[in-house]
Structure 1
Amino acid sequence: MEIRYLSKNEYTNYMRLVFSIYKGNKYFKDTNASIIKEFFSGKSHFCRNARISPVMVMNEGTPLACCIFVIHNSCRHILQIAFFEAMPNCRKAVDLLMSEAKSICQNEGAGKIIIGINGHVNYGLGILSDNFDKTVSFGSNYGCKYYHDYFLDYNPVTHNLNSYTWDMNTFNMERERKILERVNRRYTFRLADLSKLKKEIEIFTDINNKSFEDDLFYTPRDPKEDYELFKNLSYFLKGENLIFAEDNGKPIGLILWYPDYNEMVKLGKSIGAAAFLNFRLLKPKISKLKLSEIAVLPQYHGTGVIAGLFYKALEKSKGKYEYGESSWVIQDNSKSDFLCKKLAHSEYKHYKVYEINDL
């Protein structure tokens, strides 16, 4: 058994292993292929500011496990085991990955390993821990139930993440009516101008960096990194999917939501050009809305701006979708977790991130 560092030209081999792991799984839809491809090429702004090392464990020519080791310049004390995948009953292969990860930490001066973050929280966070019999929504991670068993022997610190769901047909914010009246008198809300995408993404990144500065796992972003992410997504997005809150013209918050594009993707496949053409030309009915994020500057917490942003997204999406699903929320973030419990109907999927400090 050996660990191999993969070249830029071996992206196809990496993805071939990923798809073989989920062969026959009727709930799997790939959401990471485009990002993994960028990590292999190393050409993106994010990759130019990080050590990116795709690896695969082989046993007599048979691939058993893979991941991408990531150390970003903004947090050189952390080694990420990103995009982890493995065949069942391959503990020795995963142990080999972990041994290599610890060796890299010693050589690079990193003191922590994080499993379950894919480069940055904007690219994906968390290993799925339940609801494996539900299809994966766009922007969320899928995974195998046995993955968790591979890492528990390393005595990790476990961080729990929740997502939430709600019925769009019965959802309303009548309880927040007085708050919304006050918020609408004090603040303004506008849709993103996608014809000026670079400028809008600069605002998006600035709000995120200031809003999540102290949040677990968040690291500062460069607008160029977010622009690369949004440039591909912009083929699907409309201005209404990114809404900004402003105080006398000053951006103070945002909400990002979109249709669950994965409903257009066939099981076991990746989203791509075919899905884009289908979305643009045929305008298929999509039943689920995906709430990706809400960010508000710290000094505006408690003002009702979050409720205002949520209501504006509801206005634009009401009557178009049957269900809503949120992205992950870290349980340690009590304010966000409470907000989702208040506005959403129930918890949905759960995820885990593992932190290993004993190196």
Structure 2
Amino acid sequence: MIEVKKVQDKKNLKRFIDFPHALYEHDENYVPELYLAQKDLLDKKNHPFFKHSEADFFLAYKGQEIVGRIAAIKNNNYIAYTGESTGKFGFIDFIEEYEVAEALLNTAVDWVKEKGLSQLAGPENFSTNETCGTLIEGFDMPPTIMMPYNKPYYQDYLEKYGFEKDMDLLSYKIYQKDVPDKLVRLSSKILERLNNKGITVRKINVKKFTEEIDKIIEIYNSAWEKNWGFVPMTDEEFKHAAKDMKQIVDPDFVLIAEHNGKPVGFTLSIPDMNMPLKYLKRGRLLPFGLFKLLYHKKEINRVRIITLGIVEKYRKMGIDAYFYAKAFEECKRKGLLFGEASWILENNEMMNKAIENINGKVYKKHRLYKKAI
């Protein structure tokens, strides 16, 4: 018999965070999340998400053994922004037994119903602004930074439960050597054309990080406002996430486009810290994890192009092409083999075409699900 219990203390929150380590112990493609980062994300007292929304966390037991976990989420900002009566589930992991997945999902359905909502969607941790999606293709390589990973049976069990596809999220692999020479060759001409229209492109100034983040927030919420599944981040949420990102950001991979000094686009690529993170046992930096992280950091040979956004009025002007050209110029200069552009909505024709034009190939797919309840 499967018993599902709500997490109500620090001891069980730790178990909630650590469960995937046991589940994927012998999976060579698994990368542990940093324990401190997960603890921060799930902190109901201090994380900015809980200032406007709510979530509860649950563990599934088979006897005394933990066999699964799930979060049930009511994102009030998402509901207000979209008008949808939708609750979310996230942080879902379970052993290869359908009864466990069923018990966890029943718990999330009951929780969402109690909140007066009529649909359950996910997985999202806590929205599409964070880690989201179930991996359905591309199990042969480890995930890049801030991308989810799971076993193939997750898709089978979610669909057996009655979930339907809501949207697929595409991840492209773009080898630095395959980027058309023409794009890099023309980058200076693209920039010249942009400059003639009053548009400049520059690297982020990390010495003025707080001021720069204020500009990027404005672009982020404007550029994505019409995207499927999007919910604007509050200033506090964005700054909270940026604070952690500052520790690993490479300024050479963060570009801001401005029109007469007004921010109109930006791109963020992150060196794939998952490559050294996979060596950290249970995601702990102490006592020896930090040394392992620093030692294996030299093995990083790829970046994740995590965000590329342009305010609608300034699209189709070549800003995106210049962003990609500069990213791969930096990849070549730093000796990196490839970049992963992820994730891209399957219905984002403009972005998908732009990546295909630089010889990007889809090599992973994640799926978001929905179910009326």
* Both proteins in one fold, TM over 0.5: yes
1:259 to 271, 278, 296: 271
Q: Which residue of 1 aligns with 2:210?
A: 198
> Does the alignment pair 1:63 with 2:66?
yes
Shift in Å, 1:272: 4.3
- In structure 2, list runs of 5 or more residues that go unmatched: 80-84
Q: Which residue of 2 aligns with 1:156?
A: 164
Q: Cα gap change, 1:222/1:103 in structure 2, threshold over 3 Å: closer, same or farther?
A: same
Give distance in 2, aligned partners of 1:33 and 1:287. Answer: 24
What does the per-residue CA deviation read over 1:179-228, in whole Å, with 9 as the maximum and x for residues that have no partner? 45422433211111222222222222211111111111210111211221
Give distance in 2, aligned partners of 1:303 and 1:6. Answer: 50
Shift in Å, 1:276: 6.0
1:17 to 16, 19, 25: 19
Give distance in 1, aligned partners of 2:178 and 2:149. Answer: 28
Determine helix, strand or coil for the equivalent of 1:36: helix
1:96 to 94, 103, 107: 103
1:168-207 superposed matches below 5 A? 168-172=176-180, 174-175=182-183, 177=186, 179-186=190-197, 187-207=199-219
State percent identity of aligned pairs. Answer: 20
1:15-54 superposed matches below 5 A? 15-31=17-33, 33-42=35-44, 43-54=46-57
Determine helix, strand or coil for the equivalent of 2:110: helix
> Does the alignment pair 1:135 with 2:131?
no
What does the per-residue CA deviation read over 1:28-49, in whole Å, with 9 as the maximum and x for residues that have no partner? 0023644431243211112222
8 Å CA contact 1:8–1:41 kept in 2: the answer is: no
Q: Cα gap change, 1:111/1:198 in structure 2, threshold over 3 Å: closer, same or farther?
A: farther
Q: Which residue of 2 aligns with 1:301?
A: 315
Q: Which residue of 1 aligns with 2:240?
A: 228
Give distance in 2, aligned partners of 1:24 and 1:209. Answer: 40
Q: Which residue of 1 aligns with 2:343?
A: 328
Kindly report the root-mean-square deviation, in angstroms, between the aligned alpha carbons of the 2 structures.
Answer: 2.3
8 Å CA contact 1:8–1:40 kept in 2: the answer is: no
8 Å CA contact 1:126–1:352 kept in 2: the answer is: yes
> Does the alignment pair 1:119 with 2:122?
no
Determine helix, strand or coil for the equivalent of 1:343: coil
Determine helix, strand or coil for the equivalent of 2:330: helix
Q: Cα gap change, 1:271/1:340 in structure 2, threshold over 3 Å: closer, same or farther?
A: farther
8 Å CA contact 1:254–1:294 kept in 2: the answer is: yes
Q: Which residue of 2 aligns with 1:7?
A: 8
Give distance in 2, aligned partners of 1:23 and 1:242. Answer: 35
Q: Which residue of 1 aligns with 2:257?
A: 245
8 Å CA contact 2:145–2:272 kept in 1: the answer is: yes
Deviates more, 1:244-253 or 1:9-18: 9-18
Determine helix, strand or coil for the equivalent of 2:49: helix
What does the per-residue CA deviation read over 1:63-84, in whole Å, with 9 as the maximum and x for residues that have no partner? 1210111212202432111111
Deviates more, 1:149-158 or 1:26-35: 26-35
Q: Which residue of 2 aligns with 1:110?
A: 117
8 Å CA contact 2:137–2:364 kept in 1: the answer is: yes
8 Å CA contact 1:127–1:141 kept in 2: the answer is: yes
Q: Cα gap change, 1:262/1:252 in structure 2, threshold over 3 Å: closer, same or farther?
A: same
Give distance in 1, aligned partners of 2:30 and 2:295. Answer: 25
Determine helix, strand or coil for the equivalent of 2:333: coil
8 Å CA contact 1:23–1:268 kept in 2: the answer is: no
Q: Which residue of 2 aligns with 1:347?
A: 362
Q: Cα gap change, 1:280/1:35 in structure 2, threshold over 3 Å: closer, same or farther?
A: closer
Shift in Å, 1:106: 2.2
What does the per-residue CA deviation read over 1:6-26, in whole Å, with 9 as the maximum and x for residues that have no partner? 024022211332111101111
Determine helix, strand or coil for the equivalent of 1:121: coil
Report the residue type matching 1:81 in the other structure: F
Shift in Å, 1:120: 2.3
Give distance in 1, aligned partners of 2:291 and 2:261. Answer: 36
Give distance in 2, aligned partners of 1:35 and 1:355. Answer: 28
Q: Which residue of 1 aligns with 2:88?
A: 80
Shift in Å, 1:304: 1.1
Q: Cα gap change, 1:137/1:103 in structure 2, threshold over 3 Å: closer, same or farther?
A: same
Give distance in 2, aligned partners of 1:114 and 1:82. Answer: 9
What does the per-residue CA deviation read over 1:306-346, in whole Å, with 9 as the maximum and x for residues that have no partner? 11222232333323101111111110222222222222431
Deviates more, 1:5-14 or 1:298-307: 5-14
Determine helix, strand or coil for the equivalent of 2:227: coil
